[in-house]
Amino acid sequence: MQAFLSVDDLAIAFPRPDGERETVVDGVSFSVSEGEAVGVVGESGSGKTLSALAAIGLLPVSGRVVGGRIRLAGQDVLAASEETMCSLRGRAVGYLSQETGGALNPVRTVGFQVGEAARLHLGLTRRAAQERVVALLSEVGLEEPLRVARSYPHQLSGGQRQRALLAAALAADPQLLIADEPTSALDTITQARLLGLLAELRARRKLGLLLISHDLGLVARMVERVVVLHAGETVEEAPVAALLAKPAHPFTRQLLTAAHTGEESGGTRGWGGEGRRGGALEWGACRFAPRCPEAMAVCWRARPALEAVGAQHAVRCFLHHSAEEPHA
Ligand code: SF4
């Protein structure tokens, strides 16, 4: 099946104060087929959100895609005009960010903000857009949708605001929803309800889902395939069952242990700290080597490639392919 969204060997750079560019993502690959649910898992700073934003043409202004390919709904994202990208954002893909209190405009009603996407992408009249807003707010499980539509964001709870953001992301009936840490600002009960709602919406709308999270346990319950990112690159990709039964990359094993014990996997230690600038990315070594209990000599002098180890299962690690043929 052809991927609805495919990101292949993506590289993203930002300017440094000294005028040089710093590459913060280099080697991210993932894809989502129509109606499929895929999880992207990694620590803070691993490139999850930047890669998702690049996929929909919404990188921060100083960021540049400096390598790789992105295709969305048959379009080459890196060559598409802003007009094409505007149309794709909304009709092809909706983006649900973490509700941080600033994701909605505080001086506009919720109804206006949800309706804006419907008016923009579907060309609805004001009245038709109002009716659609009420239907969308109701679909995402908000009681008294008319009252919610007339409310300002500060008059709603965090869980209600997140549902309103979800309604806005779905306003133009996209085929794919990108949900970026959608529950991390919510309490446990509200989180569980929102995840239940996402599963219902997927089934009802035949919606594809790209779920981004630091929590492998949460992602594994929601998706069919998982992509693990570490230090700006994809290190493993596999169907959920294969990943849980036989994780191939030492970092994935650490994430699984963390998911079972409820502990952090070690933060960005060895990467965001001493490993980053002038570190593994620039030496052409395995970026996980500073933290890897199984590191070998070759891991410090060559960068492993992402290679298949089974059906739909790929890993970037010298434990699984020949260290005799290092990939710089
Ligand atoms: Fe560990 Fe080497 Fe595999 Fe990197 S390539 S994850 S250092 S064993």
As a whole number, mean pLDDT of residues 16-38 equals 94
Q: Does the pLDDT value for residue 224 go beyond 50?
A: yes
Instruction: Summarize pLDDT for 194-209 with one digit per residue, the tens.
Output: 999 999 999 999 999 9
Q: What is the pLDDT of residue 278?
A: 44
Which atom of ligand 1 lies nearest, measured to the CA of 295? 7
Residue of the CA atom closest to atom 8 of ligand 1? 295
Q: What is the pLDDT of residue 19?
A: 87
Q: What is the pLDDT of residue 242?
A: 95
Which atom of ligand 1 lies nearest, measured to the CA of 287? 4
What is the distance in A from the centroid of ligand 1 to the CA of 241?
A: 23
Q: What is the pLDDT of residue 277?
A: 42
Residue of the CA atom closest to atom 1 of ligand 1? 295
Q: Does the pLDDT value for residue 269 go beyond 60?
A: no
Q: Does the pLDDT value for residue 2 go beyond 80?
A: no
Q: pTM of the prediction? A: 0.91
Q: Does the pLDDT value for residue 218 go beyond 70?
A: yes
Q: What is the pLDDT of residue 258?
A: 85
298 lines ligand 1 (CB under 6 A): no
Instruction: Summarize pLDDT for 53-104 with one digit per residue, the tens.
Output: 999 999 999 999 999 999 999 999 999 999 999 999 989 999 998 766 678 8
Task: Read off the pLDDT band of 315 (50, 70, 90).
Answer: very high
317 lines ligand 1 (CB under 6 A): yes
Percent of the chain with pLDDT over 70: 90
Task: Read off the pLDDT band of 271 (50, 70, 90).
Answer: very low
Alpha helix stretches (DSSP H) within the chain: 48-55, 82-91, 110-122, 126-139, 145-150, 158-169, 188-205, 216-222, 240-245, 250-261, 280-283
As a whole number, mean pLDDT of residues 169-179 equals 96
Residue 270 CA to residue 215 CA, distance in Å, equals 20
Q: What is the pLDDT of residue 281?
A: 55
271 lines ligand 1 (CB under 6 A): no
292 lines ligand 1 (CB under 6 A): yes
Q: Which residue did the predictor score with more confidence, 262 or 13?
A: 13
Which residue type occupies 321?
A: H
How would you classify the pairing of strands 37-41 and 225-230? Answer: parallel
Burial of 149 (0-12, 13-18, 19+ CB in 10 A): buried
Q: Which residue did the predictor score with more confidence, 275 or 25?
A: 25
How would you classify the pairing of strands 176-180 and 3-15? Answer: unpaired
As a whole number, mean pLDDT of residues 34-52 equals 95
Q: Which residue did the predictor score with more confidence, 97 or 135?
A: 135
Residue 92 CA to residue 48 CA, distance in Å, equals 20
Residue 260 CA to residue 315 CA, distance in Å, equals 22
As a whole number, mean pLDDT of residues 227-232 equals 96
CB 153 within 8 A of CB 106: yes
* Mean pLDDT computed over every residue of the chain: 89
Q: Which residues pair with 32 in a beta bridge?
A: 5
As a whole number, mean pLDDT of residues 306-328 equals 82
Helix 110-122, helix 126-139: angle, nearest 10? 120
Question: Of the residues 230, 318, 325, 327, which should be mutated to test ligand 1's pocket, given the most ligand atoms within 8 Å of the CB?
Answer: 318
As a whole number, mean pLDDT of residues 231-260 equals 94
296 lines ligand 1 (CB under 6 A): yes
- Which range has the worst mean pLDDT, 33-42, 110-119, 139-148? 110-119
Task: Read off the pLDDT band of 324 (50, 70, 90).
Answer: low
Q: Which two tokens stand for residue 144?
A: 């008294």
Which atom of ligand 1 lies nearest, measured to the CA of 250? 6
247 lines ligand 1 (CB under 6 A): no
319 lines ligand 1 (CB under 6 A): yes
| Residue of 164, 162, 171 whose CA lies nearest to 150 | 164
Task: Read off the pLDDT band of 327 (50, 70, 90).
Answer: very low
Q: Does the pLDDT value for residue 11 go beyond 60?
A: yes
Residue 183 CA to residue 197 CA, distance in Å, equals 12
Q: What is the pLDDT of residue 317?
A: 98
295 lines ligand 1 (CB under 6 A): yes
Which residue type occupies 243?
A: L
Range 3-92+174-315 has CATH code 3.40.50.300: yes
